[in-house]
Amino acid sequence: MTDYAPQSQITVLDTGGQYTHLIARKVRELGVYAEVRASETPATELTDRKGIIISGGPASVYEAGSPTMDPAILEDGHAILGICYGQQLMAHLLDGVVEKGTKGEYGAARLTIRNLTSPLLKGLESEEPVWMSHRDTVFTAPSGFEVLASTPTCAIAAIGSDAKRQYGVQFHPEVVHTRHGMKLLRNFIFDICGCIEDWEPRHRIPVVEEKIREAVGNRKVFFFVSGGVDSTVAYALCLQALGGDRVHGAYVDTGLMRKDETEFVESVFARLGATAFRVEDARDFFLSKLAGADEPEQKRKIIGEAFVDIQDKVLNSGHYLDQDWILGQGTIYPDTIESGGTAKADLIKTHHNRVAGIQKLMEAGRIIEPLSSFYKDEVREIGRELGLPNDLLDRHPFPGPGLAIRCLCSKENEPISRLPDGWLIPVHSVGVQGDSRSYRPVLAVESLHHESATELINRLTVVNRVIGLIGSFAPLDELSVRRSGLTAERLDRLRAVDAIVRRLSVSTGFESQVWQFPVVLIPLGTAARPDSVVLRPIHSVDGMTASSVPLPIDLLNQLKAELLEVSGISAIFHDLTHKPPATIEWE
């Protein structure tokens, strides 16, 4: 409801960064209302703002057609903070110099602060862990700007002009992996901009429920639920806002889910009191559609369109396609931002609820997504306020396309290549580097050291992911990529190893120490054992960034022993790569 939101004190100018809305959300967490606007918004529309933040983005400021901003904003006295591309854009529009760096800087970095008395950096320590995602860099700061900080790779990692109240940072203070990022934002928002607290997030549930009632009107809502946190919380919100007789649901068993998932989903919705709930068995349908698919975007689009086909079947069977019904979804904000949901954001991956069939329903005004402005941690908070059980809310996120994007395929038999740093595995995975999508091979090494993996990623442009060898039946030189598809046999193999990982993670307490623990099957092995397993434990808050988590030695040894006993498994690896440069899922 627009009359509930106060006037924006802070505007985030969107230059296409994957973290644009995360910046606005972090400002709101500080109690200050913030909005996101296009980067080219005229200065005349922002005169009453107390501060401007310029987001990161995937482009290069020196290239034609790259996102820009009204230069008048830099001259009208606003307090300004440029982040990543935002710092580069400020420097470019003034008289600084921005060029491509000698190597990229992705993930964790060590910041050395030169001026601890800077209003932006006060309260920080002389050495700070920060999160980077860039290759371009500011080589010469604009006149009147002081160089405030640097890293071993980036000589100008922060700049500032106290007189102008304008600052830039090459790192991302909005992500959780920048240790004192919120302190930096607090310095900017309150001390530099002079904002006052005007936003109380606890009021969001009544607002969302009112928006649900406004959007639905006199119609009813039908949900296709996964049993995960997002769709269940969205369902519960609609249930509370509209009542049980107006909210129906169905769970589609795609054959791409984890072991015993269908039984768990049925138990969750029984506890919710969802009486109008059904299970649709579509296992054979999805597997037939996915036969021969190996490329990530192809798999996601096939799954998305298959969901639409099944939706049509279910909706027709219950007259849900009548104008009296609309479709509800548990889409959260990272789903839209990573699918190019902001004006200039690069496509990282197509989410199953953003394919053409769903878009048509959206254009017809027959979709409601109550959580599309929220991040995963906020969704969990909403669920707790609604009284949902912890065994649901504390579950690790699970992707909508299911095991299909954790079971990688190959159209050809291919050898692996020995490099000075390890083995180049011709299995491509999706990454996000400099806010852009990458799709590159994987580097396998014998070490399990995260720092050396980060150094390799920053130095080698041919890969976007580094995996460390935990154990193998044969030397890596004897393994090769095997021609393979999404078959029932391989999915059952993945289900078996995933169940082992989940059981051991829960029994050792490791499950509660990580945000998510994807288990990936890759077609690397021998004729007798054609697949390998990659373990991907990560820590995150909202899925926008993530750090790879080391495995405790006792758990690692247990996993090695049990997983290598699974039929068809040749080797076990640990994904040592942060996000960025790798996405959480392999695809």
- Give the catalytic positions in this structure: 84, 172, 174
- List residues bridging with 38 in a β-sheet: 14
Nearest residue to 225 (alpha-carbon basis) of 235, 213, 211 = 235
79-83 and 97-113 strand pairing = unpaired
DSSP state of 346: P
How many residues can be counted in the chain?
587
Cβ within 8 Å of residue 33, ≥6 positions away? 5, 6, 7, 8, 9, 10, 27, 198, 199
Give the DSSP H/E element, type plus range, for residue 185: helix 181-186
Give the span between the Cα atoms of 78 and 72, in whole angstroms.
10
Look at residue 120 and give its three-state secondary structure.
Answer: coil
Do residues 434 and 132 make contact, with C-beta atoms less than 8 angstroms apart?
Answer: no
What does the DSSP 8-state code read for residue 189? Answer: I
Instruction: List, in sequence order, every beta strand (DSSP E) within 446-568.
Output: 465-472, 480-481, 519-522, 524-525, 531-535, 538-539, 547-548
How far apart are alpha carbons 167 and 110 in whole angstroms?
Answer: 19
In the sheet that holds 465-472, the strands lie side by side as 417-419, 422-433, 436-445, 465-472, 569-575, 531-535, 519-522
Whose structure tokens read 């009021």?
203
